[in-house]
């Protein structure tokens, strides 16, 4: 990858066998990568990028905070510098996905793990310009027969963890392309409220 090309990535961390959800957005906000990895697999991939702005979604639960701390230490060893350090090609920053969605719509979003919450978050990202399937189109595929049979067309709706990784990647994209639309305090970055 050319060194002047910036890649925008978001990471969602949660306990499990493959705790890293890794999302990459292209310049036109297209979803280029959406993967589930171990921390070591994620680090191997991160080292392949020459100019990566990485945003990590922070959590409030203790075991998830421990995972974030471990991941942060490993990316620092891999050569990533804080977003607040100017001029570095591989930068990392942190955000809160819940606070991002709240800032983008000006109110508390629906619960993240419900279908309604996932559709709302997809719609929010779609309205921000991310190249996702319009979540409203899912309703065109609902029929009485499909509902009775339990055949719901949900395969194109991202999971709550994937949506958190996508909004983190979007924050990295905003930080590089529209720095006036973010509020940053050290490494912690959020979309600015309008």
pLDDT surpassing 50 at residue 128 = yes
What one-character DSSP code corresponds to residue 71? H
What pTM value is reported for the model?
A: 0.92
pLDDT band at 16 (very low <50, low <70, confident <90, very high): confident
Residue pair 68/19 in contact by the 8 Å Cβ criterion: no
* H or E segment to which residue 73 belongs: helix 62-77
Q: What are phi and psi of 189, to 5 degrees?
A: -130, 140
169 Cβ contact partners less than 8 Å away, ≥ 6 residues apart? 8, 9, 10, 23, 24, 25, 55
pLDDT at 106: 95
pLDDT at 138: 82
pLDDT surpassing 90 at residue 122 = yes
What one-character DSSP code corresponds to residue 30? B
Q: Which CATH architecture has domain 7-96+171-185?
A: 2-Layer Sandwich (3.30)
pLDDT: which is higher, 175 or 65: 175
């Amino acid at each position: 990858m050319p060194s002047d090309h910036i890649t925008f990535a978001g990471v969602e961390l949660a306990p499990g066998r493959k705790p890293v959800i890794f999302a990459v957005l292209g310049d036109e906000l297209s979803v280029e990568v959406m993967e589930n990895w171990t921390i070591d697999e994620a680090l191997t991939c991160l080292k392949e990028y020459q100019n990566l702005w990485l945003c990590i979604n922070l959590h409030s639960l203790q075991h998830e905070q421990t995972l974030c701390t471990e991941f942060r230490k490993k990316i620092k060893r891999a050569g990533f510098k804080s977003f607040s350090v100017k001029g570095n090609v591989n930068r990392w920053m942190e955000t809160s996905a819940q606070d991002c969605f709240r800032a983008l719509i000006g109110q508390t979003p629906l619960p993240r793990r419900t279908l309604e919450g996932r559709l709302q978050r997809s719609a929010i990202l779609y309205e921000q310009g991310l190249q996702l399937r319009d979540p409203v189109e899912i309703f065109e595929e609902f029929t009485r027969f499909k509902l009775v049979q339990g055949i719901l067309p949900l395969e194109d709706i991202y999971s709550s963890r994937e949506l958190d990784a996508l909004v983190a990647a979007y924050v990295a994209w905003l930080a590089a392309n529209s720095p006036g639309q973010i509020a940053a305090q050290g490494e912690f970055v959020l979309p600015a409220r309008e």
